[in-house]
Amino acid sequence: MLADTYIPRRLDDQWKIGFWDVDVAAPLLFFVFVGYLSGTRVAFLACMGVGMLLSRSIARLTADKHPAFAIHWLYWHLPTSPLTAMSATPPSHLRRMVG
């Protein structure tokens, strides 16, 4: 009974890549990959710069908001597909609900 027991305080933390949340790190990683595929150093650095700017703007946009803000924003602003459609909620193009 003297053993210290670790009790986790946060079970539903957002996924992380290193120190960054996935929604912030994904654009940077995508643009680094695109820059690598380009085959030139100038294009690689340009793509990395674009990825950094986009990641920084996403980080500023999602600061002090719900942890799933980026997913909610994508749901309401991107067209639905069979992969992103939810059966329990109405389609995202129906903005007015009665009831």
Q: Are 28 and 57 in contact (CB under 8 A)?
A: no
Taking only the tens place, the pLDDT of each residue in 52-92 is: 999 999 889 888 888 788 878 877 777 767 766 666 666 66
pLDDT higher for 43 or 94?
A: 43
Q: Is the pTM of this model over 0.85?
A: no
pLDDT of residue 2: 66
Taking only the tens place, the pLDDT of each residue in 2-30 is: 677 777 677 666 777 878 888 889 899 99
Q: Residue 98 pLDDT > 80, yes or no?
A: no
Using DSSP, state whether 21 is helix, strand or coil.
strand
Q: Residue 49 pLDDT > 70, yes or no?
A: yes
Give the closest residue to 55 by CA, choosing from 85, 30, 81, 82. Answer: 30
pLDDT of residue 24: 87
Residue 54 to residue 31: CA distance in whole angstroms = 10
Mean pLDDT of the residues in the chain = 81
Residue 47 to residue 37: CA distance in whole angstroms = 10
Quick one: pLDDT band at residue 99, thresholds 50, 70, 90? low
Listed by start position, the domains of the chain span 16-67
Phi first, then psi: what are they for 49, rounded to 5°?
A: -65, -45
